[in-house]
Amino acid sequence: MSKVIVMTSGKGGVGKTTSSAAFAAGLALRGYRTVVIDFDVGLRNLDLIMGCERRVVFDFINVINGDARLNQALIKDKRVENLAILPTSQTRDKEALTREGVGKVIEELRETFDYIICDSPAGIERGALMALYFADEAVIVTNPEISSVRDSDRILGVLQSKSRRAEEGHEPVKEHLLLTRYDTARVARGEMLKVEDVLEILAIPLIGIIPESQTVLKASNLGTPVILDEESPAAAGYSEAVGRFLGETIEVRFPKQQRRGLFQRLLWRTA
């Protein structure tokens, strides 16, 4: 049976769309038929991260409104077999997302795909609430910063009260934590929370730690899910997170602090 996974966060800028693209590609690489949907109506970015912006003809809202069939809006990834993208509209507002319309699209996707990844906007506005409503499982994407963690805690409360599973009294949405942009140097200086601190606050299972890396920005600019970059430390983090999500026993490895060269150390001391 297919599962709906919402990638969500309380705060913007935590790498949620990057994580949605990487997570979806990771599942597809393991042989699962996977589709990733952009719920950020009006501010779509998923198509850019996935490198398919020039292939968008119809979108999520066109399908909801009956202006296009689902198979007309779905874009098959050219690099990863079993992976598809459902982009959203840049010109509509989030009121175009209706519970009935979204539910109908998701039920149709369930007939074809093993995993439906919902790339949610940050916060708790309409698009975000619509993305999490149909979720079977949720990946909470957060940075090790107190404002990000606090907002994620708020999202957990919303998941427990406003999802369809909560409304209908079913088993709760299964929650996972993905810690992104983890910088060991900043943690050592006390500028970021330790992993243990984040886990104590949120109290949900950790599936991965994604280190801060310039390769993430590079991959986004190239329109490639970073998990496809074999040289990227972030790619290894995402691959391991997908494995843990699927139930594989993989030890959580903490990113190592990179050693500075002599010139970098001199600059650091004079900064």
Per-residue pLDDT tens over the stretch 181-225? 999 999 999 999 999 999 999 999 999 999 999 999 899 999 999
Q: What does the alpha-carbon distance between residue 127 and residue 190 come to, in Å, rounded to a whole number?
A: 35
- What phi, psi does 38 have (nearest 5°)? -90, 115
Residue 245 has pLDDT above 90, yes or no: yes
- Give the ranges where 67-207 is alpha helix by DSSP (H): 70-73, 99-110, 126-133, 146-162, 164-167, 184-188, 195-202
Q: What does the alpha-carbon distance between residue 67 and residue 61 come to, in Å, rounded to a whole number?
A: 8
Residue 243 has pLDDT above 80, yes or no: yes
Q: What angle do CA 196, 200, 204 make, to 5 degrees?
A: 100
pTM score, whole prediction: 0.90
Q: What percent of the chain has pLDDT over 70?
A: 93
Q: Determine contact, residues 118/6, Cβ cutoff 8 Å.
A: yes
Question: Which tens digits make up the pLDDT trace of 155-182?
Answer: 999 999 999 999 999 999 999 999 999 9
Contacts of 66 (CB under 8 A, 6+ apart): none
Range 68-89 average pLDDT: 96
pLDDT tier for residue 262 given thresholds of 50, 70 and 90: very low
Q: What does the alpha-carbon distance between residue 2 and residue 114 come to, in Å, rounded to a whole number?
A: 4
DSSP 17-42: HHHHHHHHHHHHHTT--EEEEE--TT
Q: What does the alpha-carbon distance between residue 132 and residue 164 come to, in Å, rounded to a whole number?
A: 9
